[in-house]
Structure 1
Amino acid sequence: MALALARYLVRAQRRATPFGLFSGVATLRFDTVAAVVPAGQSAIRVRPDASWLASLIARLEVEPDVRRRLPVQANNLALVNGPRIVVARRPHASARTESTSVRSTAAVRLAVSLARSPLPWAELLDAVAAAFPGFPRASADTMVAGLVDHGVLISALRPPSTCTDPIRHVLDTLDAAFDGDPEGQRALRVELRSLHGRLGGTRPASATYLRGLADRMRSVAPANQPLAVDLQLADQVALPEQVAAEIAASVEVLRRLTPDPAGRPEWRVYRARFVDRYGMTAVVPLARLVDPLVGLGVPEHFGALGNAPAAPLSGRDERLLAMAQQAVIDGVREVVLDDAAVEWLAGAGRVIGPVSPHVDVSAEVRAVSLEALTQGRFTVALTGMGRSAMATSGRFLDGLPYADRELMCREFARLPVAVDGAMPVQLSFPPRKLHSQNVLSSRQVLPWLVSLAEHRPVAENVIGLDDLGVTAGRDRLVLVSMSRRRVVEPTVAHAAAVHTMPLLGRFLLELPRATDARLKPFDWGAASCLPFRPALRYGRVLLAAARWRVDPAALPGADASDGEWLTAWEALRTRLRLPAWVQVGNGDQRLRLRLDQSMDRALLRAHLDASAGPVTVVDAASPKDFGWLSGRAHEIVVPVASTVAPAAAPAAVTARGAWPPPAPPEPIMPGASGLLSASVAVDPSTMELVLARELPALFADWPEPPLWWFVRMRRPTPQLRLRLHTDDYGDAAVRVGRWVGGLRQQRLAGDWSLDTYQPESGRYGCGTALAAAEKLFAADSTAALAQLVALPESGINRQALTALSMVDLTASMLGSRTDGCEWLVARPEQTGQAPVQRDVLRQAVTLDPSELPEPIQHAWRERSRAAARYVAELSAVAGPLTPASVLASLMHLHVVRALGPDEDAEQLTYRLARHVALAAVRRRVRAKGASR
């Protein structure tokens, strides 16, 4: 008990976590002079606790005379899973059940379908009864009540997370339900109106008043703690504009020093998978994309349990380890960084992703007095960073004075976006834990909404999940509103941790910034394991405080006497050179302790004894450091917006053609059509033997050879992927199986399988365009085989020949060799590690295509005809795909067919093709000059 009281005392005096009466909120402005002006008495804002509200609503939903008048709406996160409809988390439920489900009967499916938009309970019963005459109305009522109880349907009594006056919401719903019936639930409505008058707003704090109000609320609905309280401070605080400038500069430094300069690796992998399957112009319906059975599911880290596997040691890690070790050698507790040091830590040549459009920064301001603060003698110690400019302050807006609140709402609505023309969207959902609703409700501040698992009437500014699709931009994935043909950028107006969000909510929130340079408090990476890490300062900003790892095993155990423990602790403190003030704990569970006080040492000992491993002890500010604020602990929250111009909208949104583009076609399952897709395990060392000698033999004895093409694959295992069109799938499968059997006898192949085929409509087009593209794939495969067969006797370097083939393919797609060469020259040169050998370059530039072996020339002519037909189909469709836009993918496929999947070889061959094009352009320019 004594330790618990001590913790409360320390939190009340030394922690700035605005919740309850321990700390309060006030607006902050920047000016030329620092000032703290008391402007009256602090006041409390009282709200109903989420658990009390849930108890009240649950009571009303089981009242027959109430529920039959309520509108209900289907939960848009409920999923059909075989014979059941599953709700992963029941919205607004106090139970800890992970998921719940109901049988997916015909009547249930009808009810859910009819309630896609709000529908009165009674009308829903009428519709179910009319559709199933043998189904008693009482049974239908029980069914609908069960759907509400399981969260499959959501009643209008449940306020959305953008509602900051929930009792008003419940009253309005009841008034609408009993319109024309003033006696309906009259006593309850009168009592709720009385309570509503005593809740909300602000008033001076009074324990007696709060206890009496809590007792009245318990008489309406049971709850252990029916009240949630926030404290509004009356102080008017101004900080020098220098503080804002330092914070803005620190955000840029943290962007340069981030360990994830191009976003989380898992999201980069996810984007690569997206582009690989769907291409750059497809718009994939959201529900289909996140379905792991038919789409890509969600990124890998969404399902990670515990810590991710350790990443290999990076150059950044090595530099941080060296810097920390140097600080120990020099005996310093703080390292001061300048721009050169920041550049060195970041590393040369790092590719940094896009800039996040806005964040918020939490910090302590340390100065001994207001005068010192005004004169620039201060330190800004960073304590946190929110994912958006309104992440931390959003939930406090309703507790601010009207003028301040309206000013902040206007500024939030004007925040920049990442993609030009994007719609700023506020994401609204009930958190996974009911109690979290107390801190995760925030008013609507953005013009558009996406609502998850909420009862929300249909409105023009509400974007439905079925209206959302995902497409690829140049360096990111973007959400798109299909009906509006605009990019959508969701964010939240609160600081919800990802584990409190629905899985789909997290996906929508992370996706728009997934490949941005990841902004977060300074991350020591692999150096986090060190027993000591120095403080890092940039200008007047403390990017990271000094910290020590203290192992409880180095101290006497819990059964040791206080004297024994204290003696050991003082010796350890002296050896580690710990300061007088430290901080332990994580997130909002931090304790700031004074090591010279016995009570604080007792708290530290309890914290160490309860820890399973080493504890991080962080250097902390003393009350003197907060002298400018009379020694009070605090955090300031500053929104920071980017001045970088937004990225261009993706091609799928801006390109010509009908909208929305066709959804990607369904995968073609083995045996479901006339397209056979087979994967044959072939070692890279024998791949070309199989292609040049054995593959032609597969089709030699067919009555009529099918249309076929191939691709060499390296991942997940080396294999030859073969695809063909046939009128007799079974016969084709038998022929391929016998062929693979012959290869196995020669030890040229291993296992094989018939695969699902994913048509790449987003990359090459749909319908007749995709059919023409597949004929081009076949012609290109034939050309690649002709090149392989001719190589041994031709004396031509394989990469030089492939480069010439790429130039020919470019010319075929763009209509002429002149246009093809100019396109290659205009594209940026790819950088590669290996230099281009002079003799290979000379051969590539001087080779005359008309002198190549006849089989190669013939194959190239056939490919040119196939390319012309494909170009005609693309032009007829008039969609976002053009001959130039698909060329890079076609060239990549040709290199993979001719040389195999080798990124270095591909870059080198592309550079050779560009040199061939440059030589051709120069010859043409010289010829024109001579003719004049």
Structure 2
Amino acid sequence: MITVKDFYLVRTPLQSIQFLDQFEQIDMAALPARLQSLFQDPAMQEAIYIASPELYQELMKWLQGGAGSEKMCMALYRYVLRMSTRCTPYGLFAGCATGHYAASTAIEIGQEHKKHCRLDMNYVAELAAMIAQLPALKVQLRYFPNNSIYPVADTFRYAGFTVKNKFRNYELAAVSRTPYLETLLAVARDGATIAELCAAIVDEEITEEDAREFIDELIINQLLVSELEPTVTGEEFFSYLLKRLSTLSGTGAIAATLAQIQQLLSDTTTGVDKYLRTHALVQELLPDTKSKDLVQTDLFLATTQNTISATLIRDLQDQVLPLWKMARPNTNTDMSNFMNRFRERYEEQEVSLALALDNEAGIGYGNSQSDHTPLIDDLVIQNNEEQTNLQWSQLRSFQLEKLHLCMQQGKTSLELTDADLETLKSPVPVVLPSSMYLMGSLHGSSAETIDGGEYLFEFNGFSGPSSANLLGRFCHGDAQLLAHVKECLREEEQQDPDVIYAEVVHLPEARTGNILLRPQLREYEIVYLGNGSVAPDKQFPITDLMVSIRQNKIVLRSRRYNKRVIPRLSTAHNFARNSLPVYHFLCDLQSHTVTGWQWHLPVQPAFLPRVTYKKIVLGKATWHLQKGDDLKALQLPRYITIMEGDNELYIDLQNQVSVKLLQSMLEKKEKLTVQEVIGTPDQCWIKGVGGRFTNEVIIPFANKVSASASVEAITREPVRRFITGSEWLYIKLYGGSKTSEDVLTSVIAPLIAHVEAAQLVDKWFFIRFNDPDHHIRLRFHNSSDPTFWQQILHLLYEQLGQYQKQELIYKVQTDTYVREIERYGAETMEFSEQVFHADSKAVLNCICQLEGEDGERYRWLLAARGVDVLLQDFGFDLAGRAAIMKVIREGFFREFGGSQDLQTQLNSKYRQEMRQLSSFLDPRQDGENGIEGLFDERSAFIRATVPPGIPADYLLPSYIHMFLNRILLTGQRKHELVLYHFLSKYYDSQLAIQKKAGTFQK
């Protein structure tokens, strides 16, 4: 059962949307005067300083009589737009407040907002590192083992970093395991001073001086780290640093300076003086400190009222929950590759997580590498997974159909129905997490009309686990929010008393600490290159964690507690970018998301309609503008936003300055994406000083079904692995493509006839493969005779003798058959194997009739006919075949570059072959073409045995791909490109003919 929690977080800009009215009637000439008047306000100056000290300096010179510039004015204007329209917290431009549910909706923004200022973690980390190196303090500190250390053979491996331009560059290092090193790591386990460490290894051979040099070397190389290493959970690290310094001798001057900084940042006075003084104090300790990014600020809104109607939220919940039907299981390539490599390497074993993720001793994770390659380490390469994923998407086909209908009817909005959601339902069920959150914006003319049911909810995402992901970073500044978040996480954990939920504690970059900082939220922590905030016995170093795969799920186990461990990152961090494999892996384990509507189209049209489900806006109307477009002719709404990645810029097309901004950006970038604004001024209902405010709300939910229990309670998975001697025999025959074809027709075909007559097998199938050497993969099944495999191998070796003597078949190899259950589904794996069996027989029948050059021409024609028949066997009419083929074709077209030249070549080739293709796709001409009955047996089997409710649209692309793999001799993927193009063109032409004739045929 899914229930909404008893609180929410509302986010609004600093200023009301009416704050922009003062710019409504002015032009570019009047803009500077208006800005000068506005930025006389110390509060506005403070907001600009926190966002951009450089712009603040320009502003102050201008206000004091210096020359201004249009560039500066437009930068200031953009910030005015930001602080009046965008709700995402950023310095003083937007803030948040915790609210609760009540009988009616009423949110009113007050005036006395709370600023939570802290020194940027980049500088805090620098200060801590500087202090730790001071000789007088170094000897007083306690040192601990680097918690990334793990043993591999006779070495210790660990992650160390160097700092370049204030950024940490991590790389894997290794040192020999020696008795002295092992002793020191053991002594340091609970913390030890340098003197205590020296005493542990001083003996007749090691002097105190030698010991000290050795320990210094370990500290320099980060095998030992001080207690002043930054932490991202628990007490804010700057406060901890101050407290720790107060217990050390000789720290008076530094501690006094840091205390001054803390006092300044706690000052609630409006203005920038405290920041300037803070900068000067930090420069005393770190002379090269810049003002940019020196202080991080969160704004907590004062509200005189902050409630949302409980009835409204239940109504919203009833509309949002069905959207999970559209969710798809995570297509995480890194995780899928890891699981495949793990099975190949370790099979059913449970192994050390540290060892498994080691790039050299284990299998690694993601695109990480242990080598230091400075030229390319900072390059960010976008994942091309979507472009190369050729599996047909039911969603894409649906979108194409609906978009075409909207265009035909001249509609600007696409309204989804319950029937549509059923159509879009994922063929692979997605398990809802036990804790999650809804994020979006609530729009209406007033709180009263919203409570009356007249509202729209702009959907930004439904994500988890957990509900704390977007809330954790704000808990330091809001005690009420912290209490709610802790309660949410406790409830999540109580549903799984037999597992341990552990917070992931890691500091990838010092600056990243600004968003990773959060109080201690859980009882347990996984610590990796960072200090934990819980007791040592509640911390899991990576050496305590074991990993295995159970029921196709990755399972972590603590050796110390002998319990399953579920990692959680309770803050919003883009962990996938340039992160270490351990951290990336732990965070990847938790992600489940339903995002707003995303179009997946082969070609991006100039306009995309709004997409709604009941009162939920899933996707906003979107225009793709190009330089030279006539904006008036596009009939854009008055209010739009320019979309630049995660940034949104509000534009009022009746405002001359806004229009100038839009035009200049379009001139510079040549292409822009803009979207409609749902929260127009008349739809902003939150009241406050100066007018009404736009909003975002984060609404936590709880799922009363145990998430981890759901993981274990998956439908019984069929046996995955079959070794030689089991009910499946798997053989690889290595040889050239033509030799392999000859073996199929001259050896395998008669062998199959014999073993089926003798009832030695009940099903079999083959595929062609390159890894990289060409070979045939044969699989034979018999569940009743445990010796069948020996007899088949004996028969096969007899028949292959001549091929082996001539080295035409140069290797025969048996292997373990591993079913692709993720691809074909647990429920439909065995049916898929039966399809492969029927398909292999049909293909063998086809290729036995192919001879010479004419045979190769017939091959692709038979391939096209085989695909068409397969689609019909699974119930696809002509329109359905056209839709699925269009999507598959587009995927291959993009894979091969998607150029206009390629399109021209394919169209030309289709015109050349159209007549004969049409003949082979027409069953009435089978006799003339000599192909009668070639696919009848396969068709009869599929039509008679296809299970009800099978996700055919999900499976068919794979079935088609495997059929073409079997029947085509070489160059399969290029052949597929051409064949899919041909079939797509053919189906479209047939639909056009039917439409013209006013008929409909299957």
Q: Structure 1 residues 414 and 78 mapped into 2: Cα distance closer, same or farther (>3 Å)?
A: same
Q: Structure 1 residues 300 and 58 mapped into 2: Cα distance closer, same or farther (>3 Å)?
A: closer
The letter of the residue matching 1:577 is: Q
Contact 2:131 2:137 in 1 (8 A): yes
Contact 2:108 2:306 in 1 (8 A): yes
Instruction: Say whether 1:172 aligns with 2:243.
Output: yes
Equivalent of residue 230 in structure 1, options 291, 295, 298: 298
Q: Structure 1 residues 224 and 370 mapped into 2: Cα distance closer, same or farther (>3 Å)?
A: same
Q: Mark the runs of 5 or more structure 1 residues left unpaired by the alignment.
A: 556-568, 654-676, 695-710, 723-736, 761-831, 841-900, 903-932
The letter of the residue matching 1:549 is: H
User: What CA distance in whole angstroms lies between the structure 2 residues aligned with 1:634 and 1:86?
Assistant: 49
User: What CA distance in whole angstroms lies between the structure 2 residues aligned with 1:603 and 1:215?
Assistant: 37
CA positional deviation for 1:692: 13
Contact 2:641 2:677 in 1 (8 A): yes
CA positional deviation for 1:5: 1.8
User: What CA distance in whole angstroms lies between the structure 1 residues aligned with 2:656 and 2:232?
Assistant: 44
User: What CA distance in whole angstroms lies between the structure 2 residues aligned with 1:301 and 1:575?
Assistant: 49
Instruction: Say whether 1:411 aligns with 2:488.
Output: yes
User: What CA distance in whole angstroms lies between the structure 1 residues aligned with 2:942 and 2:277?
Assistant: 88
The letter of the residue matching 1:636 is: V
Equivalent of residue 214 in structure 2, options 126, 131, 140: 140
1:428-443 aligned within 5 A: 428-431=505-508, 433-443=509-519
User: What CA distance in whole angstroms lies between the structure 1 residues aligned with 2:360 and 2:938?
Assistant: 39
Give the aligned length. Answer: 687
- Residue 574 of structure 1 aligns to a residue whose secondary structure is coil
Equivalent of residue 589 in structure 1, options 637, 643, 647: 647
CA positional deviation for 1:759: 14
CA positional deviation for 1:304: 6.3
User: What CA distance in whole angstroms lies between the structure 2 residues aligned with 1:485 and 1:833?
Assistant: 51
Contact 1:473 1:649 in 2 (8 A): no
1:503 alignment counterpart: 581
Equivalent of residue 473 in structure 2, options 395, 398, 409: 395
1:2 alignment counterpart: 73
Equivalent of residue 184 in structure 1, options 246, 250, 258: 250
CA positional deviation for 1:376: 2.0
2:698 alignment counterpart: 637
Contact 2:115 2:268 in 1 (8 A): yes
Contact 1:581 1:619 in 2 (8 A): yes
1:513-662 aligned within 5 A: 513=591, 518-526=593-601, 529-552=604-627, 555=628, 569=629, 571=630, 573-586=631-644, 588-611=646-669, 615-629=673-687, 630-648=691-709
1:299-347: per-residue Cα shift (whole Å, max 9, x none)? 5799964433342342220111121222222222222222112223x05
1:289 alignment counterpart: 356
1:720-764: per-residue Cα shift (whole Å, max 9, x none)? 799xxxxxxxxxxxxxx9x999743345513579x9x9999xxxx
Q: Structure 1 residues 626 and 720 mapped into 2: Cα distance closer, same or farther (>3 Å)?
A: closer
User: What CA distance in whole angstroms lies between the structure 2 residues aligned with 1:231 and 1:68?
Assistant: 40
CA positional deviation for 1:266: 5.5
Structure-2-length-normalised TM-score:
0.60
- Residue 479 of structure 1 aligns to a residue whose secondary structure is strand
Q: Mark the runs of 5 or more structure 2 residues left unpaired by the alignment.
A: 1-71, 370-379, 715-729, 752-764, 780-796, 819-936, 946-964, 967-1002
User: What CA distance in whole angstroms lies between the structure 2 residues aligned with 1:208 and 1:533?
Assistant: 49
User: What CA distance in whole angstroms lies between the structure 2 residues aligned with 1:613 and 1:78?
Assistant: 49
User: What CA distance in whole angstroms lies between the structure 1 residues aligned with 2:943 and 2:441?
Assistant: 61
Q: Structure 1 residues 157 and 79 mapped into 2: Cα distance closer, same or farther (>3 Å)?
A: same
Structure-1-length-normalised TM-score:
0.65
Q: Structure 1 residues 744 and 454 mapped into 2: Cα distance closer, same or farther (>3 Å)?
A: same
1:168-567 aligned within 5 A: 168-176=239-247, 178=248, 183-199=249-265, 203=268, 205-222=270-287, 223-225=289-291, 226-235=294-303, 236-249=305-318, 251-258=320-327, 260-261=328-329, 263-264=331-332, 267-268=335-336, 270-271=338-339, 274-275=342-343, 278-279=346-347, 282-298=349-365, 305-308=382-385, 309-312=387-390, 313-344=392-423, 346=424, 350-387=427-464, 388-400=466-478, 402-415=479-492, 421-431=498-508, 433-456=509-532, 459-500=536-577, 501-513=579-591, 518-526=593-601, 529-552=604-627, 555=628
Equivalent of residue 52 in structure 1, options 111, 123, 132: 123
Q: Structure 1 residues 49 and 233 mapped into 2: Cα distance closer, same or farther (>3 Å)?
A: same
CA positional deviation for 1:78: 5.7
User: What CA distance in whole angstroms lies between the structure 2 residues aligned with 1:491 and 1:70?
Assistant: 31
Contact 1:337 1:537 in 2 (8 A): yes
Contact 1:420 1:646 in 2 (8 A): no
The letter of the residue matching 1:646 is: A
1:64 alignment counterpart: 135
Instruction: Say whether 1:118 aligns with 2:183.
Output: no
Contact 2:625 2:674 in 1 (8 A): yes
Contact 1:117 1:458 in 2 (8 A): no
User: What CA distance in whole angstroms lies between the structure 1 residues aligned with 2:161 and 2:260?
Assistant: 30
User: What CA distance in whole angstroms lies between the structure 2 residues aligned with 1:758 and 1:69?
Assistant: 59
The letter of the residue matching 1:379 is: L
CA positional deviation for 1:607: 3.4
1:397-422: per-residue Cα shift (whole Å, max 9, x none)? 1211x344323322232126897733
- Residue 511 of structure 2 aligns to a residue whose secondary structure is helix
1:25 alignment counterpart: 96
1:744 alignment counterpart: 804
The letter of the residue matching 2:130 is: R
Q: Structure 1 residues 375 and 61 mapped into 2: Cα distance closer, same or farther (>3 Å)?
A: same
Contact 2:184 2:200 in 1 (8 A): no
- Residue 381 of structure 1 aligns to a residue whose secondary structure is strand
Q: Which is richer in strand?
A: 2
1:805 alignment counterpart: none
Q: Structure 1 residues 464 and 88 mapped into 2: Cα distance closer, same or farther (>3 Å)?
A: closer
Q: Structure 1 residues 443 and 81 mapped into 2: Cα distance closer, same or farther (>3 Å)?
A: same
Q: Structure 1 residues 295 and 209 mapped into 2: Cα distance closer, same or farther (>3 Å)?
A: closer
User: What CA distance in whole angstroms lies between the structure 2 residues aligned with 1:538 and 1:10?
Assistant: 30
1:472-496: per-residue Cα shift (whole Å, max 9, x none)? 3435322222332322221112110
Contact 2:470 2:571 in 1 (8 A): yes
User: What CA distance in whole angstroms lies between the structure 2 residues aligned with 1:214 and 1:578?
Assistant: 46
User: What CA distance in whole angstroms lies between the structure 2 residues aligned with 1:69 and 1:741?
Assistant: 78
1:35 alignment counterpart: 106
Equivalent of residue 169 in structure 2, options 98, 102, 121: 98
CA positional deviation for 1:612: 7.2
Q: Structure 1 residues 467 and 636 mapped into 2: Cα distance closer, same or farther (>3 Å)?
A: same
1:681 alignment counterpart: 734
Q: Structure 1 residues 278 and 519 mapped into 2: Cα distance closer, same or farther (>3 Å)?
A: farther
Contact 1:479 1:512 in 2 (8 A): no
1:806 alignment counterpart: none
Q: Structure 1 residues 122 and 323 mapped into 2: Cα distance closer, same or farther (>3 Å)?
A: farther
Contact 2:567 2:587 in 1 (8 A): yes
User: What CA distance in whole angstroms lies between the structure 1 residues aligned with 2:701 and 2:118?
Assistant: 30
Contact 1:547 1:619 in 2 (8 A): no
Q: CA RMSD in A?
A: 4.6
- Residue 90 of structure 1 aligns to a residue whose secondary structure is strand
1:244-277: per-residue Cα shift (whole Å, max 9, x none)? 335534543432223x346446544544554565
Q: Structure 1 residues 270 and 56 mapped into 2: Cα distance closer, same or farther (>3 Å)?
A: closer
1:686-725: per-residue Cα shift (whole Å, max 9, x none)? 489989999xxxxxxxxxxxxxxxx999764646799xxx
User: What CA distance in whole angstroms lies between the structure 1 residues aligned with 2:301 and 2:610?
Assistant: 32
Q: Structure 1 residues 217 and 131 mapped into 2: Cα distance closer, same or farther (>3 Å)?
A: farther
Contact 1:277 1:758 in 2 (8 A): no
User: What CA distance in whole angstroms lies between the structure 1 residues aligned with 2:158 and 2:570?
Assistant: 25
